[in-house]
Amino acid sequence: MAVAGNMPTASFLTKIGKIQSRGCWLCRIAREARGESTDGLADETQSHINSAGCEGMATTVTAAHHSIWRHLYDSMHATQKPKSKLNIVMLDKESNMSTLWRREEFLRICSKEELAEKAQNVEVTIPVKKSQETRYNLDVGSFFVNCFCGRRPDGIAINEAFKIVCILDFKRWTHRDEGIQVLEVKDAEANEQHKSIIGALKATAPEWEFEQINFVVGNRGSVVESDFYTKLKKLDVQEGKKDNFVADHVTQVCKAHNR
């Protein structure tokens, strides 16, 4: 049904005249449980209920994301070239840009104070979200620094020998469309999400090279193989192990989605 596009979501049932409201029932239940208004509910579509944007599914979707990323990270470590100088750092749930810059390998790139100062210049160009307006109005001066310090990529890869840092991000697409167009959309989304990190690092440590590497996959395990293989090569995954790596990753995505 999901593949055919006739999954019985509120959006589809409204379209064929079976119900009156397109609003997401999962979001409605979550808001009612918190005693909040149910006005302005998002449309209940297949994409919505498979995303962290659905208030009733956010915890489950986030858990699936973390499960897949942890498996991807473990696979990269297991298949890295033996002589690779690339250190892939997996962020735990407490990690963010502030806590990372207490670690010696990151302090060797630049100081936390220098990084925060440069980050403000990028953060001020990013629109303030409605959910952030209260914090913004309370203390405009520290708001942008706090935004940057709280940012949390999925992982970071460091090659100190060649002074290269890669910001790693994992994205799932949650609708039926697949292929290079979706990859470009999700790539742009991830780049926008972490642009202040890349921008601040480039401004603070110009002698280093910084790049963002995004892994994008569909709910049913779809990947753009040429793109995926190129990124595995950048992260020093052994050439002969790439096919099994991708097959194993796709299987893990499908298992996580089924859960």
pLDDT at 92 over 80: no
Residues 154 and 223 in one domain: yes
Residue 14 shares a structural domain with residue 99 = no
Count Cβ atoms below 10 Å from residue 147 Cβ, excluding itself.
22
Are 235 and 185 members of one domain?
yes
What strands, in cross-sheet order, belong to the sheet with 164-173? Answer: 87-90, 155-159, 164-173, 209-218
The predicted structure's pLDDT at residue 176: 53
Q: Is the pLDDT of residue 93 over 70?
A: no
Stretch 22-43: mean pLDDT = 88
Q: Does residue 1 carry a pLDDT above 80?
A: no
121 & 237 share domain: yes
pLDDT at 238 (0 to 100): 95
List pLDDT tens digits, range 119-138. 888 898 888 887 788 888 88
Q: What are phi and psi for residue 236, nearest 5 degrees?
A: 65, 30
Does 4 map to a domain? no
Number of domains in the chain: 2
* 194 and 147 fall within a common domain: yes
* Average pLDDT of the chain, as a whole number: 85
Which residues, 6+ apart, have CB-to-CB distance to 247 below 8 Å?
none
Do 20 and 83 fall into the same domain? no
Give yes or no: residues 109 and 164 share one domain.
yes
Q: Tens digits of per-residue pLDDT, 132-171?
A: 888 888 888 789 989 998 898 899 999 999 999 999 998 8
- Count CB-CB contacts under 10 A for residue 87: 12
Say if residues 231 and 169 touch (Cβ distance below 8 Å): no
180-220, pLDDT tens digit by residue?
666 788 888 888 888 999 999 999 999 999 999 999 887 66
Looking at the structure, tell me whether residues 25 and 89 fall in a common domain: no
